[in-house]
A and B are shown apart, each in its own frame.
Chain A
Amino acid sequence: MLELIIVSTLNGVLYGMLLFLMASGLTLIFSMMGVLNFAHASFYMLGAFFGYQLSRALGFWPALLIAPVLVGALGALVERYGLRTVHRHGHVAELLFTFGLAFVVEEVVQMLWGRLPVDYRVPPSLDFTAFTIFSTNYPAYKLFELLTAIAIFAVLLLVLTRTRAGLIIQAALTHPDMVAMLGHNVPRVFMLAFGVGTGLAAVAGVIAGPALVTQSNMAGLLGPILFVVVVVGGLGSLAGAFVASLLIGLVQTFAVAMNVSIGDLLALFGTHLAPDAFFAEITQVTVAQIAPIVPYLLLVLILIFRPRGLFGTRET
């Protein structure tokens, strides 16, 4: 049991950190521009495919640096020539724009790299076992994922709270007109924030690509859960996104580990349903089986009981 708890905790933290890598960019963009970027996971996917292509030509480490820069630049271009134009027509137009963009990116990726998973592998320099716990190996690559996520969190936090650029970003968030009056180029700040946000998603992509599967539906698989992270953490809150990512990573991992069903819970209270009773099928479903929807349940509950999220400062 202890073994399962420790390994599940490790797995949960790891998954949570991967979510955070992506959610950090999403929450940054949302807090700055009020744009709920539906295409965020698409930039994550582009990161993975760019990372794959570059790592074949230059090796993994250069790819880890170059791919996010490229994707970030692409993101900045999308903001400059797409979103900024659409912005005039309000948030619904922006939402639809990013929504459409997600489909375009998926189609383009399918055209360029096909629909099958590409052979994106863990670099040999990280392809070993970092440590063994209860006879479960822990690959060095996973440890690397974990450390990168923590490092990015620290750097982002420092930049946002301790530097001049961060100050301007935070000010532009709440008082864009005032910041513009003071002579700062607010649209450029937005463009940079969008570029950095999508670049962060690309970092997640480059790193997650070899660990998960690099294929054209990877954006669709992770996209929805990002919104859960951002909403649960509180829109625009970096710390919130961090905590929510960890929470969701752990909840999902532990849900998988649990074999308790509704029937078992009822049995605790002395109620036993006959196997052929009405709804008896439902009571046999275990928590493990519904693990993938638990985060969405959390989303619904948070929206009902604490609409601003765990750390949010304003209402969703």
Chain B
Amino acid sequence: MSRTMSRVLAFAWIGLAASTALGRADTLKIAYVDPLSGGGASVGQVGLEHFQYIADQVNAKGGVLGMKVEILGYDDKTNPQEALVQVQKAIDAGARIIAQGNGSSVGAAIEDFVAKYDDRNPGKEVVYINYAAVDPSLTNAKCSYWHFRWDANSDIKMEALTNYIKTRPSIKKVYLINQDYSFGQSVRTEARKMLAQKRPDIQIVGDELHPLLKITDFSPYIAKIKASGADSVISGNWGQDIALLLKAAADAGLQADWYTYYAGGAGGPTAIRQANLPDRVFAIVEGYPNIDYAPAREAEKEFRTKLNGQSLWYPRVFNMMSMVFRAIEEAKSADPVKFAPKLEGMKVTTFDGGEGFMRAADHQFFQDMFVVTFGPLGADQPFDEEHTGWGTKLAGKVPADQTVLPTTCKMQRPG
């Protein structure tokens, strides 16, 4: 073999090795599996924008461990079966981090799928990072080592809401309306249980379950709420189910207070404004645009400028992504086997300025929670929602340590 020839071969070999190494290491693929069509799309699409925004930000600063972050969007149509097909597609495309949020039914399916996949494919483990599926069972009965959750679970939210309800003696008759699936059912049971403990005098005048994301006209339900004489409604509805519920209430002129999980989602603020319910619709959140914390306000402003006025709905996505990136950097590896242990017990300053931590026992993140209302903007409330002129205002803060509920999780750790 001539010297030139061997040199060429040597270069070719180095080039090949380098390119495969690059192919493996130059991108960090994060699959986003959520509804991008159908009734959940209004929130799923905005969620994707959050991820994309964060990826752009990180990439502008050089990425994570020198890797470019790439977000792959997959439409699960809020359907567990469809979601599993999409997760498999994502894994085939090289993603080892699966992010999902909307729909606890979907979340449960993914959690289960990922646990089994990791069992059967050692060396190719994937991790499921959950930013919004809040069914408590995901970190209790069904808990898995490969699942981490950044949103407060449904019980924590109900705990905070009912603590607030406890301080409002004007509430006498409560109506529960929820989506008929695992999450909605857990909201209703927990609401009944906690109200019975904290305010036994409150009468529950209605307890409704309706099909998930299928109803376009809630007037019949509103008629029922009205006939029940309820002064307050508690609902865990999300996506179009909360927006249309509020819209129907606005049309019928229902005058009631609303204690919700997700009234701030797409269409919610518009309906609240139309119903003219100033400071009577409450939502439980981990952060809100008008929070009195400068860095969060700065971020909100920048986010809105870049995304045509879209408000920053999910501070938790920022918490989640920064923690995952930090874990990867600490582990010096994007392999879930290596960085997942770094997430356990991780303590951070959250997007909204509080202290937060990832409990190792069940992989549930704990953070300050806020009860906010929507109403006309006052002094020091720079941001409105959906161009209504109405924005978020703090009604009550629940410090992180008061949200720590016990878990029944018996975590099976690998190895």
Interface residues, chain A, with chain B CB atoms under 8 Å away: 1, 3-4, 7-8, 11-12, 14-15, 110, 115-117, 129, 132, 134-139, 142, 211-213, 215-218, 221-222, 252-253, 256-257, 288-289, 291-292
Q: Is the CB of A115 within 8 A of B253?
A: no
Chain A residue contacts of B254, Cβ below 8 A: 136
Q: Which residue of A lies closest to B45 (CB)?
A: A116
A141 CB to nearest B CB, Å: 8
Q: Is the CB of A11 within 8 A of B216?
A: no
Q: Is the CB of B211 within 8 A of A115?
A: no
One of B192-200, B221-229, B285-293, B325-333 at the interface: B221-229
B215 CB to nearest A CB, Å: 8
Q: Is the CB of A213 within 8 A of B214?
A: no
Chain A residue contacts of B217, Cβ below 8 A: 11, 15, 211-212
Q: Is the CB of B41 within 8 A of A7?
A: no
A257 in contact with B226 given A221-B214, A292-B214 (CB within 8 Å): no
Chain A residue contacts of B18, Cβ below 8 A: none
A8 in contact with B253 given A110-B37, A115-B45, A116-B45 (CB within 8 Å): no
Contact pattern, B 260-275, Cβ under 8 Å of A = 1, otherwise 0:
0000001100000000
Q: Which residue of B lies closest to A222 (CB)?
A: B216
- Check if B129 is an interface residue, CB within 8 A of chain A: no
Chain B residue contacts of A8, Cβ below 8 A: 220, 223
Chain B residue contacts of A252, Cβ below 8 A: 220
Q: Is the CB of A217 within 8 A of B42?
A: no
A116 in contact with B42 given A137-B252, A137-B253 (CB within 8 Å): yes
- Check if B230 is an interface residue, CB within 8 A of chain A: no
Q: Is the CB of B226 within 8 A of A135?
A: yes
A4 in contact with B227 given A116-B41, A216-B37, A217-B38 (CB within 8 Å): yes
Give chain B's interface secondary structure class: mixed
Q: Which one of A110, A116, A216 contacts B266 once the chains associate, using CB atoms below 8 Å?
A: A116
Chain B residue contacts of A288, Cβ below 8 A: 208-210, 224
- Check if B47 is an interface residue, CB within 8 A of chain A: no
Q: Which residue of B lies closest to A11 (CB)?
A: B219
Q: Is the CB of A11 within 8 A of B253?
A: no
Q: Which one of B41, B216, B221 contacts A221 once the chains associate, using CB atoms below 8 Å?
A: B216
CA distance A117 to B46 in the complex (A): 12
B208 CB to nearest A CB, Å: 6
Chain B residue contacts of A1, Cβ below 8 A: 227
Q: Which one of A14, A136, A291 contacts B226 once the chains associate, using CB atoms below 8 Å?
A: A136
CA distance A132 to B255 in the complex (A): 14
CA distance A11 to B217 in the complex (A): 10
Interface residues, chain B, with chain A CB atoms under 8 Å away: 36-39, 41-42, 45, 180, 208-211, 214-217, 219-221, 223-224, 226-227, 240, 244, 251-254, 266-267
B206 CB to nearest A CB, Å: 8
Chain B residue contacts of A137, Cβ below 8 A: 251-253
Q: Is the CB of A4 within 8 A of B223?
A: yes
CA distance A135 to B227 in the complex (A): 10
Q: Which one of B210, B214, B220, B251 contacts A253 once the chains associate, using CB atoms below 8 Å?
A: B220
Q: Which one of A15, A217, A256, A292 contacts B224 once the chains associate, using CB atoms below 8 Å?
A: A256
CA distance A4 to B221 in the complex (A): 10
CA distance A137 to B226 in the complex (A): 11
Q: Is the CB of B220 within 8 A of A117?
A: no
Chain B residue contacts of A218, Cβ below 8 A: 216
The 8 closest A-B pairs by CB, nearest first: A137-B253, A4-B227, A256-B220, A7-B223, A212-B216, A253-B220, A115-B37, A115-B41
Chain A residue contacts of B267, Cβ below 8 A: 117
Chain B residue contacts of A138, Cβ below 8 A: 252
Q: Which residue of B lies closest to A212 (CB)?
A: B216
Q: Is the CB of B240 within 8 A of A117?
A: yes
CA distance A288 to B42 in the complex (A): 26
Q: Is the CB of A115 within 8 A of B252?
A: no
B368 CB to nearest A CB, Å: 31
B361 CB to nearest A CB, Å: 31
Q: Is the CB of A4 within 8 A of B224?
A: yes
Q: Is the CB of B45 within 8 A of A136?
A: no
CA distance A1 to B228 in the complex (A): 9
Chain B residue contacts of A139, Cβ below 8 A: 251
Q: Which residue of B lies closest to A216 (CB)?
A: B37
Most buried by B among A14, A117, A292: A117
B186 CB to nearest A CB, Å: 16
A306 CB to nearest B CB, Å: 27
Cross-chain pairs A/B with CB under 8 angstroms, 29 sampled? A3-B226, A4-B224, A7-B223, A8-B220, A11-B217, A15-B217, A110-B37, A115-B38, A115-B45, A116-B41, A116-B266, A117-B42, A117-B266, A136-B252, A137-B253, A211-B217, A212-B216, A215-B42, A217-B38, A218-B216, A221-B214, A222-B216, A256-B210, A256-B220, A257-B220, A289-B180, A289-B210, A291-B220, A292-B215
Q: Is the CB of B214 within 8 A of A136?
A: no
Given A7-B223, A215-B41, A289-B180, output 13 extra A-B contacts at Cβ < 8 Å.
Answer: A117-B42, A136-B226, A136-B252, A136-B253, A139-B251, A211-B217, A216-B37, A252-B220, A256-B210, A257-B224, A288-B208, A289-B210, A291-B210
CA distance A7 to B217 in the complex (A): 14
CA distance A213 to B180 in the complex (A): 21
Q: Which residue of A lies closest to B39 (CB)?
A: A217
Chain B residue contacts of A129, Cβ below 8 A: 253
Chain B residue contacts of A115, Cβ below 8 A: 36-38, 41, 45
Q: Is the CB of B244 within 8 A of A213?
A: yes
CA distance A115 to B221 in the complex (A): 27
A13 CB to nearest B CB, Å: 12
CA distance A215 to B40 in the complex (A): 11
